[in-house]
Chains A and B, each alone.
Chain A
């Protein structure tokens, strides 16, 4: 994804500091909300200092800004567009162009502060399904696109924000609305990207509407955790390890075929301190870049001036926390953004690229199954746990949906699954036979004949729930250096397995297989008899057992290793996320500490490293060996250019 903004240095406005060089291939930007205060009325739509704000965006190294159209302001009477609003938008576009910024124009945003959609003549009709209102919406879109179709400052047209999308009652209605509005844009502007700014996972969680088909026609897609989804998937402070991985998890869950914009980055509640806001932003931005994001938009520029109260998430999409306070004074998060922009400015994404991931965590289709099947609620937590554990093993990993082809991957992790869709076992069998390595953990339900054959085990029945997780290692070093453990844990299911043709690698306290390995065709099929990822994912306010985390980390790392998909860079600190951008003559190494404590990560390479240099400049440090230690602050990051000997 490119914004075609020139790479340049500039000194702008009152902020006389040197502006970071901007990276056209990774647009960095911010949501620019129409109002900065709860006390402001809807008619004050972008009535503030837009020119000054845009100058500040430029100074911070940004290239992209999302603005929100007010239908209420643009069309006060049916079919009569406000000249004042049209001129105001013209001024905004011109100001953006003057500062080298490009705009994402969002047409229909549900924003309870700015009341953008409440056209008085709408008479309580639903703007999502009412044919007349949809017609008026299409007309508004055509009007605005026609005004600005030749403006280079417009980067993309966005049909609606997620708060708007989650008002749809069904996927069909959502798809029909998106198709109608997209057609309206295309009638006037056939080329510019059209976006639907919802994350399919968070939208499904909020409304249980599957919007993925509507994304099929979009040139750019977005990912973002809402505050409610964060509480559901990774309960705890925003800087807790599960939470800091959540942005990249959702980014990966969207898919990799199209550019994914990391959206709404940063803390969303006033509960976090300024330091925690900065740490959360740093983790999200860097892990986004390290996981293949094509750009990033920060949640908000300036804090909303609210009454003195805690935020209430009656509106789960409320965005009130920005990079600067209500007076415009920069918060620590602003420094993080500038630093990130500085790093981006020195990273040429035409030269350096991430190695394609060959390990994937499978998101089962039971995620979309209706209640009372609880698998749909367990599944995201289990997948997140598996994803984090693979990350801790420093193995490059992505997410795949069950219905997608398995061929691009060498290792598939199927965490705590109750049931797979019809035909999936057959596909998995064929894939393993062809050389794939499968790690499957039993999540309850039946163990069909295909599964029994694949794993080389006999299914003797369901062993019921247990209050302790126990592991006795039977075959040391066969699947990594597993450690025995016996810890309290709520194990909801345990498959009683007979060894059959498989090798029992570990057992429970009674000798029943816990972990088996079966050579099948050219590949390997590993079975864990209990849903350990779910145990971790369901820990919530309880403390997850560290021994189980370590077990899974070791297992995943070992399977990836024997399949030839192990870490590109070894690291002795599980909390540190590692990403290697490979270049022609040198590489760029990213190290991100997800822990809230300082540590030194010892990283090792296959090839001896001659020198390392901070990507932003400075003198090269001589290494002259295949490993070195990198000191990292809590939630700190290090970006190094590596020159090999």
Chain B
């Protein structure tokens, strides 16, 4: 465990509150007290990177690594700074390789390594890195997106499309979207909802959704079946059942459940979503999926995900310019939508616009890194001396 000075603790606290300038000042004070404090250098690097001052971030992170060669957060900062500065791909590759050695089971290190290798025109090595990331974590969506992009570059959209679909399924934002459509937010699906199941259908439905959201698919299925035994026309339960079937790759059953829900009520967005997602798994039904997702854009206004799903179905129909427009709609609603940015990159590639594709991928990677908070996890681990 690395001893944290009072100034570093203050800097951390300020940084977590988003008060960057005073946090930077606190880091400098910490370094005046002890110039050899790797955490202070690492934190300073993270703060500089957060503000886009890559050269300063790289300097601080490099010093942190010099002082503590197992500081994973500093490797993250250094690699990300090099990536953003552009043109330092050889250094960037080296940093990500070192991080993969320091924390061998960190999928993100291999994803980043792949990105640096791809930027340095080492396409085959990049694919190896992304495949390695998926071996470590089969649910790593960014690696799957990159593999799909690589397939698109080499063999065209027909080969790449299953990869994009798979990446989309791994992307947590799609599940979040389903639960948001069902009227639940993240807090409503906490552990309490799973443990405190009341006798009413509302409580049971919430618990079923909570189990589903926490990957307890069998428990959720059992609960839904018991609900449907008493209320066979409950559209919310039918829609969740369809969702659960989809998660278990039972597409036909998912179609049946969602169709049943829609015959009861055509205005059930979760059922429209589930049926669209089921159709999207069958390439021959891409046109139907497209219509359903198009309808979903009006049923869930203000949400980026229906536009993304619509765009992906349009990709399957080879309507690339329409897909591009749908991705733009999604990004207008959520400029940080990782899935839409990767999709936009795919559309740009189909048009031969490699610069726009590369820029969209860089932005997607940036937003993905940001939403996953790659800095604080390893930083806290280093500070507490725990496993990184």
Mutual binders A and B:
yes
Q: In the assembled complex, which residues on chain B have CB atoms less than 8 Å from the CB atom of A312?
A: 87-91
Q: In the assembled complex, which residues on chain A have CB atoms less than 8 Å from the CB atom of B87?
A: 227, 269, 271, 310-313
Q: In the assembled complex, which residues on chain B have CB atoms less than 8 Å from the CB atom of A308?
A: 121
Query: Is A228 interfacial (CB-CB < 8 Å)?
Result: yes
Query: Is A405 interfacial (CB-CB < 8 Å)?
Result: no
Q: In the assembled complex, which residues on chain A have CB atoms less than 8 Å from the CB atom of B367?
A: 541-542
Assuming the contacts A374-B24, A541-B363, asked whether A269 and B86 have C-beta atoms less than 8 A apart, the reply is yes
Query: Is A236 interfacial (CB-CB < 8 Å)?
Result: yes
CA distance A643 to B356 in the complex (A): 41
CA distance A82 to B160 in the complex (A): 62
User: Which residues, 220 to 239 on A, are CB-close (under 8 Å) to B?
Assistant: 227-228, 231-232, 235-237, 239
Query: Is A456 interfacial (CB-CB < 8 Å)?
Result: no
Q: In the assembled complex, which residues on chain A have CB atoms less than 8 Å from the CB atom of B356?
A: 237
Q: Which one of B27, B51, B119, B362 has the highest number of Cβ atoms from chain A below 10 Å of its Cβ?
A: B51
CA distance A271 to B151 in the complex (A): 21
CA distance A540 to B48 in the complex (A): 13
A-B contacts at CB below 8 angstroms, number: 90
Query: Is B264 interfacial (CB-CB < 8 Å)?
Result: no
A310 near B119 (CB under 8 angstroms)? yes
A371 near B56 (CB under 8 angstroms)? yes
Interface size grouping (class) on chain B: 35 or more
Partner among B25, B86, B354 whose Cβ is within 8 Å of the Cβ of A273 = B354
A235 near B355 (CB under 8 angstroms)? no
CA distance A286 to B53 in the complex (A): 30
Q: In the assembled complex, which residues on chain A have CB atoms less than 8 Å from the CB atom of B366?
A: 540-542
A232 near B21 (CB under 8 angstroms)? no
CA distance A563 to B286 in the complex (A): 59
B355 near A276 (CB under 8 angstroms)? yes
Assuming the contacts A269-B87, A273-B355, A314-B88, asked whether A371 and B120 have C-beta atoms less than 8 A apart, the reply is no
B355 near A272 (CB under 8 angstroms)? yes
Q: In the assembled complex, which residues on chain B have CB atoms less than 8 Å from the CB atom of A619?
A: none
The B interface is mostly helix, strand or loop, or mixed, namely helix
Q: In the assembled complex, which residues on chain B have CB atoms less than 8 Å from the CB atom of A309?
A: 120-121
A313 near B18 (CB under 8 angstroms)? no
Query: Is B253 interfacial (CB-CB < 8 Å)?
Result: no
* Smallest CB separation, A462 vs chain B (Å): 11
A540 near B86 (CB under 8 angstroms)? no
Q: In the assembled complex, which residues on chain B have CB atoms less than 8 Å from the CB atom of A314?
A: 88, 91
A374 near B354 (CB under 8 angstroms)? no
A313 near B355 (CB under 8 angstroms)? no
Query: Is A543 interfacial (CB-CB < 8 Å)?
Result: yes
B84 near A492 (CB under 8 angstroms)? no
User: Which residues, 3 to 56 on B, are CB-close (under 8 Å) to A?
Assistant: 18-21, 24-25, 27-28, 51-56
B362 near A541 (CB under 8 angstroms)? yes
User: Which residues, 332 to 388 on B, are CB-close (under 8 Å) to A?
Assistant: 335-336, 354-356, 358-359, 362-363, 366-367
Assuming the contacts A235-B84, A313-B86, A543-B335, asked whether A377 and B54 have C-beta atoms less than 8 A apart, the reply is no
A377 near B53 (CB under 8 angstroms)? yes
Q: Which residue of B lies closest to A445 (CB)?
A: B21
Q: In the assembled complex, which residues on chain A have CB atoms less than 8 Å from the CB atom of B120?
A: 309-310
Q: In the assembled complex, which residues on chain A have CB atoms less than 8 Å from the CB atom of B336?
A: 542
* Smallest CB separation, B88 vs chain A (Å): 6
* Smallest CB separation, B62 vs chain A (Å): 14
Query: Is A444 interfacial (CB-CB < 8 Å)?
Result: yes
CA distance A271 to B118 in the complex (A): 13
Partner among A232, A239, A313 whose Cβ is within 8 Å of the Cβ of B88 = A313
User: Interface readout for B172-203 with A: 1 if CB under 8 Å, 0 if not?
Assistant: 00000000000000000000000000000000
Partner among B19, B27, B55, B91 whose Cβ is within 8 Å of the Cβ of A228 = B55
Q: In the assembled complex, which residues on chain B have CB atoms less than 8 Å from the CB atom of A271?
A: 86-87, 355, 358
User: Interface readout for A371-394 with B: 1 if CB under 8 Å, 0 if not?
Assistant: 110100110000000000000000
* Smallest CB separation, A295 vs chain B (Å): 28
Query: Is A248 interfacial (CB-CB < 8 Å)?
Result: no
Query: Is A538 interfacial (CB-CB < 8 Å)?
Result: yes
B25 near A372 (CB under 8 angstroms)? yes
User: Which residues, 596 to 639 on A, are CB-close (under 8 Å) to B?
Assistant: none
Q: In the assembled complex, which residues on chain B have CB atoms less than 8 Å from the CB atom of A239?
A: 355
CA distance A366 to B27 in the complex (A): 20
User: Interface readout for B79-103 with A: 1 if CB under 8 Å, 0 if not?
Assistant: 0000011111111000000000000
A237 near B355 (CB under 8 angstroms)? yes
Query: Is A465 interfacial (CB-CB < 8 Å)?
Result: yes
User: Interface readout for B230-270 with A: 1 if CB under 8 Å, 0 if not?
Assistant: 00000000000000000000000000000000000000000
User: Interface readout for A354-382 with B: 1 if CB under 8 Å, 0 if not?
Assistant: 00000000000000000110100110000
Assuming the contacts A273-B354, A371-B56, asked whether A538 and B51 have C-beta atoms less than 8 A apart, the reply is yes
Query: Is B331 interfacial (CB-CB < 8 Å)?
Result: yes
Q: In the assembled complex, which residues on chain B have CB atoms less than 8 Å from the CB atom of A377?
A: 51, 53, 56
Assuming the contacts A310-B119, A538-B51, asked whether A236 and B27 have C-beta atoms less than 8 A apart, the reply is no
B21 near A374 (CB under 8 angstroms)? yes
Assuming the contacts A372-B25, A465-B18, asked whether A232 and B359 have C-beta atoms less than 8 A apart, the reply is no
A541 near B18 (CB under 8 angstroms)? no
Assuming the contacts A272-B355, A542-B335, A542-B336, asked whether A235 and B28 have C-beta atoms less than 8 A apart, the reply is no
B54 near A232 (CB under 8 angstroms)? yes
CA distance A248 to B45 in the complex (A): 31
Assuming the contacts A228-B85, A231-B84, A310-B89, asked whether A444 and B21 have C-beta atoms less than 8 A apart, the reply is yes
* Smallest CB separation, A487 vs chain B (Å): 10
Q: In the assembled complex, which residues on chain B have CB atoms less than 8 Å from the CB atom of A378?
A: 51
Q: In the assembled complex, which residues on chain B have CB atoms less than 8 Å from the CB atom of A492?
A: 20-21
User: Which residues, 513 to 569 on A, are CB-close (under 8 Å) to B?
Assistant: 538, 540-543
Partner among A236, A276, A313, A465 whose Cβ is within 8 Å of the Cβ of B19 = A465
CA distance A371 to B57 in the complex (A): 13
Q: Which residue of A lies closest to B21 (CB)?
A: A374
A231 near B20 (CB under 8 angstroms)? no
* Smallest CB separation, A45 vs chain B (Å): 27
* Smallest CB separation, A320 vs chain B (Å): 11
Q: In the assembled complex, which residues on chain B have CB atoms less than 8 Å from the CB atom of A372?
A: 21, 24-25, 27-28
Q: In the assembled complex, which residues on chain A have CB atoms less than 8 Å from the CB atom of B24?
A: 371-372, 374
Assuming the contacts A231-B85, A310-B121, A311-B87, asked whether A540 and B52 have C-beta atoms less than 8 A apart, the reply is yes
Q: In the assembled complex, which residues on chain B have CB atoms less than 8 Å from the CB atom of A541?
A: 84, 362-363, 366-367
* Smallest CB separation, B20 vs chain A (Å): 7
Q: Which residue of A lies closest to B89 (CB)?
A: A310
Q: Which residue of B lies closest to A270 (CB)?
A: B87
Partner among A269, A371, A538, A540 whose Cβ is within 8 Å of the Cβ of B28 = A371
* Smallest CB separation, B44 vs chain A (Å): 9
Q: In the assembled complex, which residues on chain B have CB atoms less than 8 Å from the CB atom of A540?
A: 52, 84, 366
CA distance A308 to B122 in the complex (A): 11
CA distance A65 to B20 in the complex (A): 47
CA distance A425 to B200 in the complex (A): 68
Q: Which residue of A lies closest to B26 (CB)?
A: A372
Q: In the assembled complex, which residues on chain B have CB atoms less than 8 Å from the CB atom of A543?
A: 331, 335
* Smallest CB separation, B247 vs chain A (Å): 31
Q: In the assembled complex, which residues on chain B have CB atoms less than 8 Å from the CB atom of A311?
A: 87
Q: In the assembled complex, which residues on chain B have CB atoms less than 8 Å from the CB atom of A273?
A: 354-355
Q: In the assembled complex, which residues on chain A have CB atoms less than 8 Å from the CB atom of B27?
A: 372
* Smallest CB separation, B25 vs chain A (Å): 5
Assuming the contacts A236-B359, A271-B355, A372-B25, asked whether A313 and B85 have C-beta atoms less than 8 A apart, the reply is yes
Q: In the assembled complex, which residues on chain A have CB atoms less than 8 Å from the CB atom of B121?
A: 308-310
User: Interface readout for A238-263 with B: 1 if CB under 8 Å, 0 if not?
Assistant: 01000000000000000000000000
A interface residues (Cβ-Cβ under 8 A, vs B):
227-228, 231-232, 235-237, 239, 269, 271-273, 276, 308-314, 371-372, 374, 377-378, 444, 465, 488, 490, 492, 538, 540-543
A-B contacts, 9 of them at CB < 8 A, read A237-B356, A273-B354, A310-B87, A312-B90, A312-B91, A313-B85, A371-B56, A374-B24, A377-B53
The 7 closest A-B CB pairs, nearest first, are: A313-B87, A543-B335, A541-B366, A372-B28, A540-B52, A372-B24, A372-B25
With A237-B355, A273-B355 already in contact, 12 other A-B pairs whose C-beta atoms are closer than 8 Å: A271-B355, A276-B355, A312-B88, A312-B89, A312-B90, A313-B85, A371-B56, A372-B21, A377-B53, A444-B21, A488-B335, A541-B367
